[in-house]
Amino acid sequence: MDQRIADLLSLLELEPLEVNLFRGESRDIGSPQVFGGQVLGQALMAASRTVKGRVVHSLHAYFLRRGDFNAPIIYDVDRSRDGQSFSNRRVVAIQHGEQIFNMTASFQVVEAGLEHQIPMPSVPPPEALADTSRVRPELLARLPERVRRLLETPRPFEFRTVQPADALQHSKAAPAREIWFRAVSAVPDDETLQRCLLAYVSDFYLLETATLPHGISTLSGKAIVASIDHAMWFHRPLRVDDWLLYAVESPSASGSRGFARASVFARDGRLVASTAQEGLVRLVQERADETRD
């Protein structure tokens, strides 16, 4: 197994402290705070540890404060309800005595029912696209040191963007994009783990799409971008170590907030998940001294 994936899996192996109480470690991926996808994946794993015979079908989360990657995160799970078919859990993530994140997740017994879905967009296959996980050396040299560190940190997922853009300067474009992604090596065949890993990687590219109509790169320093909330719906079984297509669109930006939603398709065309996120998108000249309210 690739060391990058092994390290990510170790992050999801939470330490049980007490009934419904877990502790997770963090990794510095070059960002000024804990990566939101990490907290999302760990919180979902904590909730899943308290449920048997059911898989998560939806989650709704809020990012409240910056996470400190030098301190552990405590996940407190409330077993809100266990019914015949559904279970509901509420998770609060705590650091330094304060809530940094909360999430509600719903789990369901696997059962058959009506089936329909939207079609997958017609896009080139991932083999026909360049690997955009790494930024070209000549472009890295033009970036601030803090941004270079973020982009040079090895990632457990590889990305191939259908509509590549300059990391520093976007031309104005429609608020939509498609990205192929997959884990850099095989991961265990466990549906709960697969969905936690998808939660982790779903935090990439959403808010960036909200900046496309304005020609603003999230790496340029011209805007402060931070997740506020995140929602996911899991429709069908999936594998993150096979190519998945992230079809993202941003219907709106207003009030210093950007909104984006996305469909996640397996390579065979199955719609496996949907996600939505709203976040802070604030121009630096408006209020440059804050990163999250």
Catalytically annotated residue among 227, 250, 263, 274: 227
Q: Which residue has 């909360």 as its token pair?
A: 102
Rounded CA gap, 91 and 183, in Å? Answer: 26
The Cβ of residue 207 has, within 10 Å, a number of other Cβ atoms equal to 27
Residue 231 structure tokens: 């929602």
Q: Which of 26, 95, 202, 277 is catalytic?
A: 277
Q: Is 10 designated active site?
A: no
Question: Which pairs with CB-CB distance under 8 Å and at least 24 residues apart come from 171-175?
Answer: 171/215, 172/212, 172/213, 172/214, 172/215, 173/212, 173/213, 173/215, 174/212, 174/213, 175/209, 175/210, 175/212, 175/213, 175/249, 175/250, 175/251, 175/253, 175/260
What are 293's strand-pairing partners? none
227 labelled catalytic: yes
277 is catalytic: yes
Please give the Cα distance from 118 to 75 (Å, whole number): 36
Which is catalytic among the residues 87, 203, 217, 220? 203
Catalytic residues: 203, 227, 277
